[in-house]
Each structure stands twice: as C-alpha cells, then as structure tokens.
Structure 1
Amino acid sequence: MTETRKLFFTCAMAILAGGTTAFGQSADALINKLLEKGILNVKEANELREETDKNFSAAYSEKSGMPEWVTALKFTGDLRLRYDGIYSDVPGLVDRHRARFRLRYGVVASLAEDFEVGFRLASTASTGGNSAGDPVSTNETFGNNANRKPIGIDLAFVRWSPIETPDWTGSFSVGKFENPFSFSEMLFDNDYTPEGLAQTLGYRINEDHQMRFSLGQFILDEIGTSSRDAYMFGAQTRLNSRWDEHWQSSLTFGALSILNPRTLTSAAVPDVNRGNTRTAAGVLVHDYNLLIADAAVTYTFDSAPFYKGKFPVRLGGEYIYNLGAPNKNVAFGFGPTFGKAGKRGTWEFSAKYKEMQADSVYEETVDSDYGAFYFRNPPYDSPGGFPTYSAGTNVRGPVFRFSYSPFDFLTLSTMYAITELIDEVPPGSPSDGSKFIFDAVFRF
C-alpha cells in the first residue's frame, strides 16, 4: 500500500502543478484506473479519495484565497428583454408600448456543516415614497433619455439543511429568500422574494409519492411609530404522486394570515397594485386570513409534434377563500397546460381563466402583469387623475401563454390577457382592455 500511495501521489502532484482545478477533475479518474488494474482494493480506494479530497481542498483554498469551509460556489444569472403592450378600444383609455428589461445575477456559497449563504442583485424600478424598489417586479423601462438604471438586492439569505436522508429532507432559511411556497401568481408574483424566516420539510413516502411541508414567517413592514408591525404567516402541505408511467397528480392545501393589516396603508408600503377595499386614508378595511386549495392532474405522452422528449398535458385549478372579509372574498383560476418549456426543442402553451375578487387576497403581493383599467383613481388615491391600467385584485378574465426554447439558454415567451374590473371605478365606467407581452430570456 505504501508504494501504491507513492505512485498515486507522484502522478497526482504532477497534475496539481498544472493547477488545482485539473487536479480535482483528475484525482477520481486516477483512483478508478488503479482500482481497475487491481493495484488498489475498494477500501484503499476510498481511503485515497478521502485523502485527496482533503489535499485538494487545502490546495484550492491556498491558491484561490477561499476559506476551507467554502465547499462550492454556484453563479446564476439571466437577462430578459420584453415588449409590454396595454390596449383598449374605449375612448379615453390610453394604449401603452414599453420596451423593458430584467437583469439578475447571484451567487450561492455552500459551506461546511450543511450551510449555504446566497445573494442576488436585480434591476428594480423605484415606486417613489419610502421605497427603493418594486417588490413584485424587476422590470426596468427603457427611456428617460437613457438614464442609469438602478440595481437592488433581490436575495440575501442563509439556509441550513441539516436533514438529508433517502426519505427526509429539511431546511431553515433566514433573510430575503426565494418563496418557500408553491402557490400560484394569484397569491405571489414570481418576482416576490419574502423577508423573514422559512422552514421546509420533505418526506418520501415511497418511489411514487412525496410530501412537502412549508412554513413561512414574513416581515411585511416595521412601523417606526407603533409596535403593531405587520407580518404574514403561512403554511402549505403538498402531495406529489405518480400513478404509472403516464399519470401524475398534485394536491395542495395551505393557509396565509396577515397580522396587523391596518398598518399596511397605501403610504406605509410600496403602493404598486390596487383592488383591496380601503378607507379614504388608504387603510385596509378587512382582515386577510386565507384558505387555499389547488389540485392538478398530468398525463405524459411519449411524444408530440415539434417537441423534444416526453410531452406532459396538465389540467389544474386553484381556489382561495378569505375568512377575514364578509364578501368579495373569493379567488379562483383553472385551465390546461400543454408541454413544458425550458430545455432545447421544447414548448409550452397554457390557457387559464382567473377571477380575483377585491378582498380575496392582499393586493400588494400578487401578479404585477394581470390588471385592468381604472377610469378614475380610487378614493384613497389623489382625486381625479387620468384613466390608468393597474394590476392587483378586483380583476377577471382569461390569460393565454406560449413559450418556446430554441436553446437551453434561451426561451421565447408570449402572454395575452383579456381583462376587466369586477367592480368598475367609478361604477358603470369602462374597464375592459388587453395586455400583450413578448419576452426573450437568456440564462447564463
């Protein structure tokens, strides 16, 4: 064994001289070759792997300047170029044509003892007042004489994942992180990154059935003049099942509740959406204690025209009921999805009808691309004002989406929504319109 070790390390150190990266990539290949030739047995090979891992970590740490407790770095980024058009045939309602972009770049460092630390920067549009950026959108609009576009902190978190077994996984997150819930855009815009605490627990019942439990304790606002800060608490249970090689299903139950919603006035937090019932001073009238259920069934075909790989067809729906409001407290959506874009040669088409009554959900976390025309500002806004398109609640109508991925790094997408307000502002005024979006998303 001693001579074998000398032979191995002579080869390994020769490679190390050319760079730590080459050494790390080649060590396993060398050990496998020695094992294949019968020079090492399995126990000796495993011992060598442990030693070379330690030696590589130390060498890489010394050469790169990275501490030994940083075990990996993962960089991610994407650039989205967008055309955003809003249209209406109603006289007095203004069509808009915007060229926009989203830029995101981040890194996650894997540390010893199952810890991760990550951050992500993203383009962000100021919402005015006391806000540095829109919480439900990372879009920036080209214009303003080519002024400099701001960048904001989109993620800043620590995650600890102490549970990792064949059947159980578990993690704890603190900071500003990706949403731990799998609720749809009817509750959270895809760009919304909550702040506070989150816990997730996964359980593998067997090869065909897995459960996921998620908890969240989110900070909505810290009130400097009051001890009644606003928080959101949530819980979700999800069961994913595979019944055979073609049929899959998912079933989800959840709840969300806002503590001290009266402090979330239109002046206290970014007022980017509309729809909730408020007083003339912009104070929320109702509580938000939501019960959520969604279900979906998927059939996977072996192939489909112009589609690379197996082809999934999904039919799903979601229902939301707010216990904290006496009326206008229901939201629902349903529709099919064909295919799944994201990999080279794949495409996706979906059609979904949505109705989001005024007080069904909290307006300031929902989809920023789904709205309708207000012919006049709500009472809590400045009086008068010209007709404007606003996202939020109090909206209904169908949404159609199509995406195609010509390459792994590029996805082209379109979205078309035909919407109207459920309760017009003012009553009887026209609110119907449409929105068309074209996106080109480059991942790097």
Structure 2
Amino acid sequence: MRYSVSMKPTHTALLGLLVLMAVPASAQLDKLKLSDAVQSIKFGGDLRLRDDVSAKRGAGQNNRGRLRYRLRFGSEIELPDNLTAIIRLGSGTGEQVSTNQSYDNLSSQKAIWIDLAGLRWKPAIHDDATTALNAGRMINPLWRTYSSDVVWDDDFNPEGFGESIEWVFADAGLSVFCNGLQSVADEDSNSGKNQWVFSQQFGVEKTLLLDSRLRIAGAYHKWSDENHSSFGQTTIQDGNRRLANGSLAAKFGVGEVTGQLTSWIGKVPLNFQATLIRNFRQAHNDYIQGPVGRDGYQAGLIVGAAKAKGSWEVGYFKKYSQIDATVADVADSDFGDGGTNRVGHIAWIAYAPRDWMLLKVKGFVTDALDRSFPTVAGVTPTATTNLDKAINRLQVDMSIKF
C-alpha cells in the first residue's frame, strides 16, 4: 500500500480507528493517507471488564471491592527493510504494572496513556533463525510463562532495548534461543547516574514423545544503582526493604530458571510450569538487617486452553516470594496487593464462548511471609513491610478482542 501524508504515531492510530468506523470497507484505503514508506498497517485491541474483590486481615486493613476496566488499542505499521513501528494506547492511572482503571470519581472522564511506542527490526539472517531487535517502549522481550510473574508482571512494558534470536534445528527436534534486555529504570536531571536493569536469558526447547515439548531457560537480571535513589515509579508495591529516601536497601542480581512442559491427555493440553529465583546480590550491602529473604518460586499446572470458541481451561499455582527475592515494583500486581514478601495459592477457571470472548474467574489466597522485622538500620519499618497482612482476592472477568 502507498500513502502520501505523514502523521504523528498516536494520531495515526486514532485516525485509523475513526476511519474504520465511519467509512465502508471498499473506501477505507482511499481515505486513510499516510507516508509512502508504509507497506501495511494492522489495528487491534482488547477490552476487559472486571469485578475485583479483596478481603484483608490485619491492623489498618480494609476490605475492598472495585469494578474496573482495561482498554487497549494499537497498531503495527510495516515499513521497508523488515522494520515495524508498534504503537498502543491504554487505559489506567499511569502505573508501571497495570492498565486497569476503576469506576470512580462520579464517572469523571479517564485518561489514555502511551502503553507501547517502539520499533522492531527483524533481519533475515538464516532460514532456520528468527531474530528481532527492539527499541523504545516495548513488550518485554524475555521469554516468559505464567509462572514468570513472580519476577515480571505481564503488564510491565520496559523502556530501552531488547534483542531476541531463536535457531531451530529441525532434524534434532531442538531449538536454542537467547534474549536480552537493557531498560532504563529511572533518569534524574539532578543526578549523574541513570538506573538500569540488564537481563540476559539463554534457553532451549526439545520435542519429546507424544507431541510433548520441554522449554527451559536461565536468566540473570542485574539492577544498577538501585540504592542511589527511588525509581520515581507511580506505584510502590508491598515488599522490599527501602532506605529513607525511598530507594531499595538491597542490591538486586536475580537469577531465574523457568521451565515449561507441554503435553496432552487425549486432545486436552497440559501445561506444567515452574520458575525459581534467587537474588544473588542481596547480601552484598551494608543496609540490611534481619532475615536474608532472597528466594522465591512459582509452580503449577494449566489444563486446557481457553482460546477457540467452546474451549476451556483450569489452572492452579503456588507462589512464594521472600522480601528481597526480586524487585517488588515490577512483580505481579494481583497477588495480594502485589510485590514480594508473600506466599499463597492461585486458581482459576476460564471459558471462551466465542473466538473473541473470554469469561474467567480467578482466586488468590495469600498471606505475608515476614510480619514484623527491622527493614533498614536506623530506619523505622514502613507499613508495606511491617503488617500482618493476609489478603484473599477474587476477580471475575469478561474480555473481548477486536
């Protein structure tokens, strides 16, 4: 396709939506005028409605019930030389780990945020290899499963650079992959040090008997200058000992091993997953008192796959994350109140009445691991790390894709 008028990326997405709604299909391409460099453009999005109820136990804790929605809409713009611009707008309150928006403030209008804004280059280096280089605000380039959210919330979109390569050895039923991430955690104008997170991941996948597959990867996530200042994040989640200025007290170099075994019972898919983590740098600082608190894991099973019309799934996982096992503010935001220093169970059932619709009920039964301990030498423990805080949570969702 050839277009003649260039526009700002966010305006392009909104204009495309209006044109698709207002113009007959046969005239759409005549009405949508963009740069001559555009080869093709795809639009898509999703809407999720949620009832989110939390029952809490502990001093100063209140039960909570929220009606919420998540709206995301974006486009992929194909350019010459295997280059793609990826743009997505989303609802929410600007949090780093959520695009949910609560019904609130007498139905006052709600904001739209930039959820994705980046470039992806996929050079063709070999018929058996897939390569991608990313820059900007992007979907996390690391390979992740559901169990990986003990480290990374699925809504966390890092800003920086990402690299991925996977090489397939078809005759051996084997593939090897490597992923990298270099993400800016924070930049302060009054500081000479930017904070970063650097991740490297290496993994393999092997085809087994009976159409089963085993995929396993090891990763290391190194945070730099995390004790220098806070990250300026919108949301501070439970867990992690912190200094008086809000920065992290512990150092973070998180080793991760994640594995997934996919198999079948008849025509029903089975998906076994597990993630193990340890913060190898936790003990290498002068701030921490009290328990080491550097380990975590999540493991479980998903039976079925609620994707096509009439399909279903059920899932169960056990999660355990000590206080400084990983950086709390990018970990799963739904487990209790999100973050670390928590143990518990997760279960759900989901059904797809249409290819584009999903109904889901999900429950969490959680408790704090360490209820009271000194967080930092000479600093009074903060409320987020010093409470008897058991949280049970129920989420009822209806989601549609378009």
Band of TM-score, shorter chain: 0.7 to 0.9
- In the TM superposition, 1:220-239 aligns within 5 A as 220-239=185-204
**Aligned position for 2:272:** 315
2:277 alignment partner AA: I
Deviating beyond 4 angstroms after TM superposition, the runs of 4 or more aligned structure 1 residues are: 60-64, 89-92, 425-429
2:110 alignment partner AA: K
1:166 alignment partner AA: D
For structure 1, list consecutive stretches of 5 or more residues without a partner in the other structure: 1-19, 21-59, 126-132, 304-310, 372-389
**Structure 1 CA distance, aligned partners of 2:183 and 2:226?**
13
1:190 aligns with 2:160: no
**Aligned position for 2:370:** 423
**Aligned position for 1:297:** 261
1:117 aligns with 2:78: no
Which digits, 9 at most, give the CA deviation of each residue in 1:264-292, with x for residues without a partner? 427x3223312001123322111110111
SS of residue in 1 equivalent to 2:150: coil
1:409 alignment partner AA: W
CA contact (8 A) 2:229 2:245 kept: no
Name the Cα RMSD after superposition: 2.1
1:95 aligns with 2:52: no
**Structure 2 CA distance, aligned partners of 1:443 and 1:172?**
27
Query: Percent identity of the aligned residues?
Result: 25
> Alpha-carbon deviation of 1:235?
0.9
1:393 alignment partner AA: T
CA contact (8 A) 2:123 2:131 kept: yes
1:281 aligns with 2:245: yes
Q: Out of 43, 68, 74, which is 1:106 matched to?
A: 74
For structure 2, list consecutive stretches of 5 or more residues without a partner in the other structure: 3-27, 284-291, 373-382
Normalised to the residue count of structure 1, the TM-score between the two structures is 0.76
Which digits, 9 at most, give the CA deviation of each residue in 1:122-155, with x for residues without a partner? 0021xxxxxxx10100000002100011110000
1:369 aligns with 2:350: no
Query: Larger Rg: 1 or 2?
Result: 1
Which digits, 9 at most, give the CA deviation of each residue in 1:166-200, with x for residues without a partner? 30111111100111012311111111110000111
**Structure 1 CA distance, aligned partners of 2:297 and 2:353?**
33
CA contact (8 A) 1:221 1:264 kept: no
Q: Out of 370, 392, 396, which is 1:438 matched to?
A: 396
1:173 aligns with 2:134: yes
Aligned residues: 353
SS of residue in 2 equivalent to 1:192: coil
Distance change (3 Å), C-alpha of 1:252 and 1:421: same
Give 1 or 2: higher helix fraction. 1
- In the TM superposition, 1:383-394 aligns within 5 A as 390-394=337-341
1:362 alignment partner AA: V
Which digits, 9 at most, give the CA deviation of each residue in 1:85-137, with x for residues without a partner? 00136686321110000000000111111110121000021xxxxxxx10100
**Structure 2 CA distance, aligned partners of 1:328 and 1:322?**
9
CA contact (8 A) 1:229 1:263 kept: no
Normalised to the residue count of structure 2, the TM-score between the two structures is 0.83
**Structure 2 CA distance, aligned partners of 1:429 and 1:154?**
33
**Aligned position for 1:81:** 49
**Aligned position for 2:306:** 341
**Aligned position for 1:70:** 38
1:155 aligns with 2:116: yes
Distance change (3 Å), C-alpha of 1:70 and 1:278: same
> Alpha-carbon deviation of 1:353?
0.6
Q: Which has the higher contact order (CA 8 A, sep 6+)?
A: 2
CA contact (8 A) 2:57 2:388 kept: no
CA contact (8 A) 1:118 1:157 kept: yes
SS of residue in 2 equivalent to 1:391: coil
